[in-house]
Every structure is written in structure tokens, then in C-alpha cells.
Structure 1
Amino acid sequence: MSIVPLIQALNEEEQHKVLKFLQQHNQRGDVKNIQLFNYIRKGKTEKLDEKIYGKPSKNAFYALCNRLQENIIEVVAANSFSGKTSEEIRCLKCLLASRIFFEKQLYPLAVKTLQRSENLAKEFELYSILNEVYHTKIQYAQHQKNKSLTALFEEAKHNLEAFQNEFRLNMAYAEIETGLRQNPLQNSKDLIEKTFFKLQIQAEETLTYKSLFQLLSMLSEAAKQQSDYFKILNYASKLFNIVKKKAHFVEKHEYYYLHILSLMANIYFRTKRFEDSLSLLEDLQNKSLDPKNSSFVMEDTVLLTSLNLIYTNQLDAAITNLEQTSLKTPNLNLTLAVCFILQEEPQKAYAIIKEFQHSDHWYEKKIDLLWVIKKNLIHLIVLIELEKVDLVYQHFQSFYKRFGTRLKNAGEERILQFTKLVKAYYDHPEESNSEKLKHQLETSFLSDPEKPADILMLGFYAWIKSKVYQEEVYQVLLKTLDFTSQNKSV
């Protein structure tokens, strides 16, 4: 049912507005649409027709879903035009108003309103709307007394070229995204450069804030899938330098700028440039925020600050940072569980793991597959630490069944190597310090010079190594981090 993901995508404020709309427009005391809405937003999606009608009633339920979906679309659309609107909507409002004024022969007001739309569109680099503005200006050219027809044509032509550049960029994004989806293990930087060359796009000349954000997002997603941020570091830094050259546009493109800061802070963290990462996080936190951006900014700054603290020998500070935040998201909670494992407090970590109420399938849709896999690995570690034997073997079997093939297809050999090492250690604890196991351990994570171990995977490596060498896990992690930072072969 498309109604389920639609309702689940609404934030709390949007849900409240939908409920208010339904209450105002319902007739004859019919509240079935409200019942359906409340069931879905609370995650109760099984046999909804029976819950609402008291018996199976597929046809009536289908009609109810369609009506509710139309109601939600109406509320979301109306909400986008109210309050603090986006730049595009402000421009469109002025453009549409000017056309109405022209039709009513209110020419001075029409020209003034159309000019306002043009100024806004130029300010925010909205080339498609500018095309409509110039179309209107040319249509009513006799009323544009302060500009010659030749000058107007030149402006329209210049904007059309900018619009076509942006259109080519959109074609590039589509081609790059398709390429990465078909082959997620390919070199994303090379793919982007080949696509730009093919479509004759010059990065420095044509990239807007939105374009830079989209490119960095794709680079970051590819690096995440490949567990290799070092490969994209130089190209991402090049794009970020373009962002810094456009500093005078920051206030006009806050949404994209804040996301770019967050993406770069994560890239710097994953490539062990901790000072650079923390510096960007400070900028992100101190930025004057539109309320609509505050939620993601808070989560990203808390999460990335905590991760930087963990890997710079400030574990207690990371735990304090995570415990004191008012946000309790899956990402933050899982990171806190990791902290407790590093602190050798598995019971506290287990309490957090048990708070994840949804299925792995649900978390995979809401977050992603790699997050679900890491959650399962952390759960496995906690079960081993707490000596829950039956649950450990059950978890091993479940993990291989659900993720084994998908990990192989995604090229995540290190995760599979980790699980094999853990099983070898757990099956034969008396041989945990054998030379064979030590050799397998040392060659499993840190031996590939072409692909440095991802910093987050080092935590798993440190845990199994601490068991084999009988050392404190957090100290092993810090030593491993020093080794990989100093050794140029990794």
C-alpha cells in the first residue's frame, strides 16, 4: 500500500496538520479515515480492513485508502505554500501574480511584480523559473519600457544557456546514479569525471550549491557502499573548495550549505582528519538555523562529534555527549551501545540493543542495509560478552542466512572475515591465542594496500583482537588507529 510509506514519511508537525484537516472535513461523524491514519502512523499495518470495518472488506478499504491519500496530498501541498515558503514558491507566486495583473491590464503593477520574480530567481539561480519570467517579459514586451527588445532577447538567451547547463547536470546525475546502482563497486570519481566530460560539463563554471550538494551526496553514498572514503577524499575536497569560493551565496542556500558541511565533516572523519571534521561540525552547530534544518543538524553534529571523540581517546566525553542529547535516534543509540562495549559495559549495551523494537527489514528501509548489518554484529558481540550461548549460535545462523550472499555481492569481504574469526574464537576459546588465529586476525583487515580498512570496521577488528590477545578493547582500538595512520601501506 502506497499510503503506508506516505504516512510514515510525514514528520510530527505534518501529522498534526493532517489530523486537524480530517477532523474539520469529516461529515456525519465518520472517523474511519482518522482510524486508518492513526493505525499506520503507530506502525499497526496488519489486517487494517478488519480492524476498521470489523470484517474483511477489501473494496471499501481500498477506497478509504485512496481518499485518505488525496487528503494527505492536499494538506502537504497547501502546507508548502503557507508560512515560510521556499525560494521557488516565492518566485512562482510573483510570476503567476504578474500574469494575472497583465490580464487585468494593471500594467505598472504587473511589471513591478514580474521584476520581483526575476530578481528572486536570479538571486537563487532558478534558471527554469527565469525561463518563464523571460517568456512573460517577451510576451508583454511593449510594457517593458526600461529595456530594449535586443537587451531582453540577450538576457533570455544567456539564461537559456544556463538552464541547458543545469539540464545537462541533471542528465549527469541520472547517469551517475544509474551507473553506481548497476555497479556499486566501481570508482565513483572516475565515473563522475567521465560523465562530465561526455556531457561537456565544467565543474568550476556551472555547479550551483544544489549541484555541489548532489555530487557530494553521490560521492559519499558510493564511498559508504564501498567502505572506502579515501578514494573520494581529493575529489570531495575539490568540490568543497568550490563551495568555499561561493561563500557570498551561503545565506541564500542555507539548506544545501548545511548538508554540504555535514557531508564533508563525515568524509573527514572517515579519512581520520579529525581536526578538520570537528572544525566543520563547530561551524555547523554555530550556524544560524532555519527551524526546518535544526533536526538533521542536531543529529549529525551529535553523532559525528561523538565518533570523533571516540577515536581521539575521549570515550567518556563521547558517552556524555550521547547521553545528554534530547535526541534518541537509531544512529545515536547504536553509537552509544558501541561506546559501552568499548567501556566494557556489555549489560548497558544490551539494554540499548533491546530498545530497537522494529524489524531489520523496517530499519533497512528507514536507514540502510549496512546499518542493519552493523547493528547485528554489535548485537552478536554483546551476546558473546554476556555468555548467552544459545542466543549466540542462533544469531550466527540467522546472520549468515540473511546477509551472507548480500555481503558477498556487495564486496564486503571484511565483514564476512570478521564473523568467521568471531566464530573460530567462540567455537574454540581454548585456542584463542593460537598462532594460527593470530595470523588470520592480522591478515584479515589490514593487509590490503588498495583499500584501507574503514575506520568504523576498526572497532570490530579491535574487539576480536582484544579477545585473542587478552587486552582492553579500547586501548587496542587506539593502538590500531595509530598503526593505520602511520603505516602508508594501509
Structure 2
Amino acid sequence: MINLKEILETFTKENQQEFILYLEKKNKRKDAKNIQLVRLLLSDNFSSTEISQKLYGKQNKVALHALRKRLFKSLIDFTANLSMREENSIDIQLIKYILSARNFLKKGQIKIGYQILDKTENIANEHQLYTILNEIYHTKIEYAHLNKTLNFNNLISTFNDNQKQLIIEDNINIACAKIRISLAEYQQKKSKEDIKTLIENVLKEQNIIISDSLSFKSLYQIIQITSISSAQKFDYWNIEKFLVDTYAIIKHHTSKDKQLYYHIEVLYLIANVLFRSKKFTESKKYLALMYFYMNEKKQKYYSDFAPNYHLLLSLNYNYHNQQEKAIELLEPYLTKKNVDLVSQLDILLSLIVYYYQNESLEKAKNLLATFYHTDNWYIDKAGIVWTIKKNLIEILLHIDLGNIDLVDSRLISFKRNYFKHLSEINQERVISYLKLIEIYYKKPEIATTIEFYNRVEKSFNWINRNNEDIFLMSFYAWLKAKMTKQNIYFVTLNLINN
């Protein structure tokens, strides 16, 4: 049975109210019980027996089942209409054109129908929307016998060419799905398979060759999946060349102006990888390109990308000894509205780190206090990696603030909730790190001893500074600052830049 309560709870409060108004307009009978059912589902976890009793004053499984089916159909209609209304993409507009053309063709208005299809085809070609083009050609072929001016052979040739492009896009989707499945298996089974090699093999299996014959969207998908693979192992340095070389193909692509959104996404991904590899100058070069394209087409996508652009630029500033600029860039977001939730959470957590490194502990504590949701809520919204970082920062901050009771409870909670997951994804060094933190917390005077230094050295498999992830180095900097009795920000910059 489909869980109607789960569907309703995915709506915002405004959408829930809008759905009730939608039902009120739709209801032809005054005694319809669909609105009552919605309110019961949203108000509490009532069982089917309890709901039946409240709606009918008795048990009536047949009537309740029928009511649930009708409500589900209304939910589907409402969500479809909502998506169509909120989605202003070219794809949706062209689908509307195709439906309109088919309507005219069914009524015998062949000339008008084909004129609409021709216009739709031109726009779809500009944006390389092969699935939409397939629908256009399918419709043209279906009504070809009624159009005496149509060159049927040319139409079939164009249709076949489009089919080839459609197959390439399908192969890329399959490849991305295979890679994502492999990444999940890597996490679950501690697979030692090299992710980069896996990506190359999957692309070869699907006969995908990176060239300017691919659409901009397809190239973006390949870059994105490669970036995700590095996030699993924190080896961003390993994909730098691949990303830069791939962008060399993308930047000359014939559709780069038509697929501006994906172009900006690609620039952001490259800038982020370069930042994580501590190549700040190169990262800022791609951010400058990103900013340029954000301002194209009358800033069509500026507001979509501004939070992530400002965040990544501020991170480059912060780790390149320009912390004041980093803070100034992000503080306006403390009062900004209508910012994407994930971007907002990333910005707030980064500001907490900046304040902490700046020894503004009260500011960091007050901002951290705004994270009042449960860990499960943050995992759902921002992901488990973000939630683990948030919890680690919280533990370190409470140690420095001397909040002993809070430190104890946070340590116990972290071990219970995340040690198993960290082991499953081959991140035992985070577990080792927390154990060292706990040793220091319980006996801070040990931090400057040779014994503790040797323990730290043995706890990690150290890798080349150039290859280590910048955020992992930042956490280690806190520990080293305790060992050397130096300022955290100074130690962080020293570790990263020397």
C-alpha cells in the first residue's frame, strides 16, 4: 500500500494548504471525506482502524480503501500540475508545444500542426534535446501521410541521426548509473578497486569517447561522476588533469551558449577540485570564469549559483591567508533569505570554522547553536559527510569552551552513530583522530609530550602534502596546534602552504 502520509509530508506547509484548496475546488459533493483524510494523515500517526472510525463512525475498510485510491489519484494530478507550474525549463515548454501540435493534427489542421513542430524542432536542436526531438520526429512520421509537402526520406534520415545521439546519451546515463552503483559497493564492501580505473572501464564498455560530438550536458555528467568518485576517497588531486582536459573540449563546444547552466556547473566542479587540492590561484581562475558566465544572458542563472560561488571564493581566501575577506564575503548570508538550504548550511558551517580559527569562540558557538535539528534531519538534507564534519567541529569547540558535560555526551553520541559508517567507507583515520582528541580532552597536559607525538605519528598513514585533502588537514591542524601551543589558524596555513 502506498504511504499517503509520507507523500503529504514531502510537501511544504504552503503546498499542503494549496492541496486542500485544490480538493475543495475539485469536490462536487459536500460530504466528500478526502480533506478530512488529509488532515488526519497530517495530524498524527493514526492506524487505518482509527481513521475509519473517525471518518465513518465504524469500521468500513472498503470505503476507506476507495477513498485512499481517489486521494492518491488527486495527489498525482496535483503534484504533476505543481511540477509543470514550477518547472520553467525549455524541456517543459517544448513538451507543451508538442501537445499543442498533436491536438491540431488530430483535428486535421495539418499545416498549423507541422508549423508548431518545425518551431519546436529548431529550439530542441539548439539545445541538443534529443529525447524531445525523438517525440517531434515520431509525431511527424505518424502524420506524414497527411502532409503532401513533406520530404519523407529527409525526415527518416534526420530521425535516424537523432536516434544515434539518443543512444549516446542513454549510454552515458547507463554508465553514470553503473559508476554510482560501484561507488555504493565500494562503501559497503570496502572494495579496493581504483575508482578512476573503474570509470575509464565503464566508459569504454558503453562505447563513450570524450569528444566535442557529445552534448554539453553529457560532458557535465561525466565530469560530475568523476568528481563524486574522488569525494569518496578524498583524492581530488587524482582527477585534476582529467577535469581540465575535459573542459578544454567543453569550452569550444558548439552548444556552450545554449547549455549555459551546465557550463557554469562544470566550472564550479573544476574550481572546487582545485581548491581541495590547495591550488588556490588556479581555483580562482575558474571561479572568475564561472562569475563571467553567471552574468551572461542577463544574469539568468546568477542567483542559482551565487551562494556556491561566494562560498568557494571565501574558502580560497580563508586558506590563502585572507580570512577577513572570507568572513566579509559570507556574513551577509546570515540575514539573506531564499538561499538554497544545502548552500546555506555549507555557508554557516564554513563561517563557524572561520570564527573558530579566528579565536572568536563565542561567535562560533552562537552560530553553531542555530543547528537545532536532529542529526538524521541534517543527514537527509546535507548528507552524512557534512553531518560528521559538523559534529567534529562541535566537539572541538566545546573542548576549547570547557563545556565538559557536552563534550562527554557528544563523544559518546559520535561513536555510537558514526564509527560503523566510517569503518565501512575506509575512513578509519577519522576514528583514530577522534580517539586522539579524546585522549587530549581527558589529559590535556599530554599534548606536548614525546609520547603523544609518537602516538599521533603511528595513528595515521601520512601521504604527500600536495595530495592530502585540505579539510582533513584543517582538522589535524587543531590537534597540532595543541601539541605546539600555537594559534590554530597559523598552524593551518603553515600545514597547507609549506
1:116 corresponding residue in structure 2 = 119
The alpha-carbon deviation at position 308 of structure 1 amounts to: 1.3
Alignment of 1:362-373 (within 5 A): 362-373=377-388
Alignment of 1:367-446 (within 5 A): 367-442=382-457, 444=459
2:208 corresponding residue in structure 1 = 201
Conserved 8 A contact 2:110-2:146: yes
TM-score (normalised: structure 1): 0.85
Conserved 8 A contact 1:180-1:222: yes
Conserved 8 A contact 1:311-1:478: yes
In the alignment, structure 1 residue 92 sits paired with structure 2 residue 107: no
Worse-matched range after superposition: 84-93 or 312-321 = 84-93
1:271 corresponding residue in structure 2 = 277
1:287 corresponding residue in structure 2 = 295
1:472 corresponding residue in structure 2 = 487
TM-score (normalised: structure 2): 0.84
The amino acid across from 1:138 in the alignment is I
Distance 1:366 1:91, change over 3 A: same
Counterpart among 459, 471, 476 of residue 474 in structure 2:
459
Conserved 8 A contact 2:175-2:203: yes
2:105 corresponding residue in structure 1 = 102
Q: Distance in 2 between matches of 1:191 and 1:464?
A: 36
The amino acid across from 1:126 in the alignment is L
The alpha-carbon deviation at position 342 of structure 1 amounts to: 0.3
Counterpart among 262, 268, 274 of residue 262 in structure 1:
268
Conserved 8 A contact 1:302-1:322: yes
The alpha-carbon deviation at position 241 of structure 1 amounts to: 2.2
Unaligned runs of 5+ in 1: 40-45, 484-490
Conserved 8 A contact 1:228-1:451: no
Where 1:203 maps in the other structure, the secondary structure is coil
Counterpart among 330, 345, 349 of residue 322 in structure 1:
330
The alpha-carbon deviation at position 459 of structure 1 amounts to: 1.3
Distance 1:342 1:436, change over 3 A: same
Unaligned runs of 5+ in 2: none
Distance 1:11 1:223, change over 3 A: farther
1:174 corresponding residue in structure 2 = 177
Conserved 8 A contact 1:446-1:453: no
The amino acid across from 1:264 in the alignment is I
The alpha-carbon deviation at position 75 of structure 1 amounts to: 3.2
Conserved 8 A contact 1:466-1:476: yes
Conserved 8 A contact 1:188-1:232: no
Q: Distance in 2 between matches of 1:63 and 1:337?
A: 52
Conserved 8 A contact 2:278-2:466: no
Where 1:157 maps in the other structure, the secondary structure is helix
Counterpart among 218, 230, 235 of residue 223 in structure 1:
230
Distance 1:93 1:47, change over 3 A: closer
The alpha-carbon deviation at position 82 of structure 1 amounts to: 4.1
The alpha-carbon deviation at position 28 of structure 1 amounts to: 5.0
1:487 corresponding residue in structure 2 = none
Worse-matched range after superposition: 3-12 or 389-398 = 3-12
Distance 1:264 1:13, change over 3 A: farther
Q: Distance in 2 between matches of 1:431 and 1:10?
A: 52
Worse-matched range after superposition: 57-66 or 188-197 = 57-66
2:134 corresponding residue in structure 1 = 131
The alpha-carbon deviation at position 100 of structure 1 amounts to: 2.7
The alpha-carbon deviation at position 8 of structure 1 amounts to: 6.1
The alpha-carbon deviation at position 99 of structure 1 amounts to: 2.7
The alpha-carbon deviation at position 240 of structure 1 amounts to: 2.1
Conserved 8 A contact 2:357-2:489: yes
Alignment of 1:33-48 (within 5 A): 35=39, 47=45
Q: Deviations over 1:173-231 (max 9, x none)?
A: 22111111111464332112101111212121543222222222222222222122112
Conserved 8 A contact 1:14-1:76: no
Q: Distance in 2 between matches of 1:134 and 1:94?
A: 13
Q: Deviations over 1:385-438 (max 9, x none)?
A: 011122222222221121112111111122122112212222222221011222
Conserved 8 A contact 2:52-2:64: no
Q: Give the % identical residues.
A: 29
The amino acid across from 2:169 in the alignment is E
Q: Distance in 2 between matches of 1:95 and 1:410?
A: 47
Distance 1:208 1:472, change over 3 A: same
2:363 corresponding residue in structure 1 = 348
Distance 1:383 1:169, change over 3 A: same
Relative contact order, CA 8 A, sep 6+: which one is greater?
Answer: 2
